[in-house]
Amino acid sequence: MKKIVFLLSISLLVTGCGAKESTSSHTANATSPSSPAPTDHVQAASPQAGEQAAQQTAEEPQAVDAPDVAGDAKADTFHVENIVSGYEELIVGAINQQDFSYVQDFLLPDSPVYQEQQTLIEEAGKKGISVKLVDSRIGEIKESDQPNEYLVEVVTKLEITKGNDLKTKEIKKVYTVLSKDDQLYIKEIKADQSLE
């Protein structure tokens, strides 16, 4: 039986261009979520989830099923948007808990992005970096030149704590989402800057 998960829609806006960064000294560390509980679905996103991402109990996600479209293997943009917004929220818990299992099922297995995100989480942990999702806005979603692929533009605003330093960064990303075997997977993430 196919697993179909609907994430609650988040009101998202297209933001202007440019990356902004501000630095200040701060002694507070971000609160991190408790350990993930195994489950057979992707955790639902809510309007409050971005604010609560560093405080909530995250569940181990599974790839979202692509919807059945009469004879068409393409996923509709609703599901594509939901897998990206779900990933945006859960990557925060993965980084703060140094636990790749929060997000591994969103990523295309045996792909470069799978290894890249695993390394990102490990390196952030080694460097004592914690993050808080301030805002995540999905912009344009369009079909890729490749079959069954979508490109999703996202602007993410994060508070990044390393030691006593707190930085706020706005990072522009382009996600490539692949519909494969009735599942949606993130195949690639291109960002204009790193966490540091």
DSSP state letters, 26-57: --PPPP-PPPPB--SSPPPP-TTHHHHTTTSP
C-alpha closest to that of 58 among 114, 28, 96, 12 = 96
* Confidence category of residue 55, pLDDT binned at 50, 70, 90: very low
pLDDT at position 196 is: 78
pTM metric for this prediction: 0.65
Mean pLDDT for the chain? 73
Neighbours of 25 (CB within 10 A): 8
C-alpha closest to that of 158 among 132, 192, 120 = 132
Would you state the CATH architecture of domain 21-190? Roll (3.10)
* Confidence category of residue 22, pLDDT binned at 50, 70, 90: very low
Residue 192 has pLDDT above 60, yes or no: yes
pLDDT at position 38 is: 30
State pLDDT tens for residues 89-114. Answer: 999 999 999 999 999 999 999 999 99
pLDDT at position 76 is: 79
Pairing outcome for strands 165-180 and 149-162? antiparallel
Would you list the domain boundaries of the chain? 21-190
C-alpha span between 130 and 110 (Å, rounded): 26
Angle between helices 77-97 and 112-126 (to 10 degrees): 30
In the chain, where do the E strands start and end? 21-25, 64-65, 129-143, 149-162, 165-180, 183-191
C-alpha span between 52 and 57 (Å, rounded): 9
Q: Please tell me whether residue 131 adopts helix, strand or coil conformation.
A: strand
pLDDT at position 45 is: 36
Higher per-residue pLDDT: 47 or 66:
66
Residue 53 has pLDDT above 60, yes or no: no
State pLDDT tens for residues 114-171. Answer: 999 999 999 999 999 999 999 999 999 999 999 999 999 999 999 999 999 999 999 9
User: HSE on the CB side for 101, CA within 13 Å?
Assistant: 12
Residue 138 amino acid letter: I
Residue 35 has pLDDT above 60, yes or no: no
Q: Are 130 and 99 in contact (CB under 8 A)?
A: no
Pairing outcome for strands 64-65 and 21-25? unpaired
Indicate the burial class of 136 (C-beta count within 10 angstroms; 0-12, 13-18, 19 or more): buried
